[in-house]
Amino acid sequence: MQYEPTIGLEIHVQLSTASKMFSGAATAYGGTPNSQACAVDLGLPGVLPVINAEAVRMAILFGLAIDAEIAPRSVFARKNYFYPDLPKGYQISQFELPVVARGHLDIATEDGETIRIRITRAHLEEDAGKSLHEDFHGMTGIDLNRAGTPLLEVVTEPDLTCASDAVAYMRALHTLVRYLGICDGNMQEGSFRCDANVSVKPIGSTTLGTRAEIKNLNSFRFVERAINYEIERQVELLESGGKVVQETRLYDPDRDETRSMRSKEDAQDYRYFPDPDLLPLDISKVQIDAMRELLPELPRAREQRFEHTLGLHHADAVNLARDRAVADYLEATISAGGDPRSAANWILGEVFGAMNKDGMAISEIPVKSEMLAELLSAVSDGTISGKIAKEVFEAMWQGEGRAREIIERRGLRQVNDTGAIMAFVDQVIAANPEQVEQLKSGKDKVLGFLVGQIMKLSKGKANPQQVNELLRQCIFD
């Protein structure tokens, strides 16, 4: 029998607020254990949670970006369970009434098709702390720095049908939350974590198969591999007459497999109930409208504008729109006079290359957008050739100044004077009689060699187009 998978994702987006979801403690990553945990985070007696208004604003912004409904009243609930790194014995989350419901995100599949993934809900909650099992001689250490960090849990409908679409969705969401400035997207630090619900059913069947939930997938690659492994495991199980059981599984990237963590029978009863320490979260239309004003152009719209209005290739448009700062850099370069396609090529080529080499973010690079635009205009008006431009770019990167200054200082201005170029052409023809003969007899390849010799002689400054023309004239006319 042929099977088809059904996949839904739950992604925990860590909101980039300065303080925690319900306390004033800092959220910065990597502090000394328990240095960023206040009385509220420690769950001391008598202390109470207070909702972080910034986290709420971020949730609203996200809801608007996925065209979802923002609940005029949502409710924080307690999810009760015991765990050493859960200080209060419950997690404050949202259960029946989430802040964001019924949105969607359009994504491009590998075949270039656009599909719409429905987002069931997104709710605010607090993170737990961390249990540390090393260095404590058989005991467990608890670090509550992360406890109380605000999370937005984004849950899809089971609209995904293969691992690559799941990854495409995850990437699109990752791009979106960084665009909105609500998450730093750092997956190593756990700022963007994914759980995947996977089931398989016979092709054409309308009833969903039993699903397994795969926990804590913290890279795009792991999501893809874990889902593919899980699909294969379930199909093999069904093919051999077995049954899929509803359970939670953990992906082990070292062995590239998923392992059972707990079955449905062991599932805990979380005894959710509205948190009496918090009033319902009321969000007014005025507040929603104010947030709508702050909504930036979204990645997908920008990507399409780059492709259709600026005339970029689809793949380039996607790559350039992915990071808001990069897209802003591109647009700033264009508005400073740079040609859109050249600007795109330069950013994807030289700029990204230099950024990678020096481990810099676009906001940190020495070549600002107007500097790149000046370089591009020096190329387009014939002041320098594209090849020389790379040398100029490198000099700008080293902090030697702006493009035209460097060109003048280094004497890199392109030679457009026919007389001067003709002198180079004559010298090269005289020095290479054999190659000239070959060219005359129809070996076109030799042209490149001769042009190269002329360029070398001019130290790269001769206008290549003129060199070509003059050479042809001399030989064929």
Residues found near another protein in the complex (CB under 8 A): 39, 42-51, 78, 80, 82, 84, 87-90, 140, 142, 269, 271-273, 276-279
Q: How far is the CB of 38 from another protein (least distance, A)?
A: 10
Q: How far is the CB of 53 from another protein (least distance, A)?
A: 12
Q: How far is the CB of 369 from another protein (least distance, A)?
A: 44
Structure tokens at 199: 């089931």
Q: How far is the CB of 90 from another protein (least distance, A)?
A: 5
Which residues are bridge partners to 104 per DSSP? 118
Q: How far is the CB of 91 from another protein (least distance, A)?
A: 11
A 10 A CB-CB count for 426 gives 13
Nearer to another protein, 232 or 282 (CB): 282
Q: How far is the CB of 270 from another protein (least distance, A)?
A: 8
φ and ψ at residue 170, rounded to 5 degrees: -60, -40
Nearer to another protein, 133 or 459 (CB): 133
Nearer to another protein, 147 or 163 (CB): 147
Instruction: Name the region of 284 (left: φ>0; alpha: ψ -120 to 50; beta: rest).
Output: beta
Instruction: Name the region of 154 (left: φ>0; alpha: ψ -120 to 50; beta: rest).
Output: beta
Distance CA 453, CA 460 (A): 10
**Long-range contact set of residues 229-235: C-beta below 8 Å, sequence gap at least 24:** 229/256, 229/257, 229/258, 230/196, 230/198, 230/258, 231/3, 231/5, 231/163, 231/198, 231/200, 233/258, 234/3, 234/198, 234/199, 234/200, 234/209, 235/3, 235/200
Nearer to another protein, 23 or 197 (CB): 23
Q: How far is the CB of 20 from another protein (least distance, A)?
A: 14
Side-chain-facing half-sphere of 423: CA atoms under 13 Å? 8
Nearer to another protein, 128 or 238 (CB): 128
Q: What is each CA distance from 407 to 127, 202, 425, in whole angstroms?
A: 55, 67, 24
Q: How far is the CB of 28 from another protein (least distance, A)?
A: 22
Most distant CA pair in the chain: distance in Å?
97
Nearer to another protein, 53 or 325 (CB): 53
Q: How far is the CB of 43 from another protein (least distance, A)?
A: 4
Closest alpha carbon to 425 in 365, 369, 359, 470: 470
Nearer to another protein, 43 or 340 (CB): 43
Pairing outcome for strands 212-217 and 247-252: parallel
Read off the amino acid at residue 457.
Answer: L
Nearer to another protein, 44 or 301 (CB): 44
The full length of the chain comes to 477
Closest alpha carbon to 209 in 231, 228, 226: 231
Q: How far is the CB of 140 from another protein (least distance, A)?
A: 8
Nearer to another protein, 20 or 174 (CB): 20
Distance CA 306, CA 313 (A): 8
Nearer to another protein, 143 or 230 (CB): 143
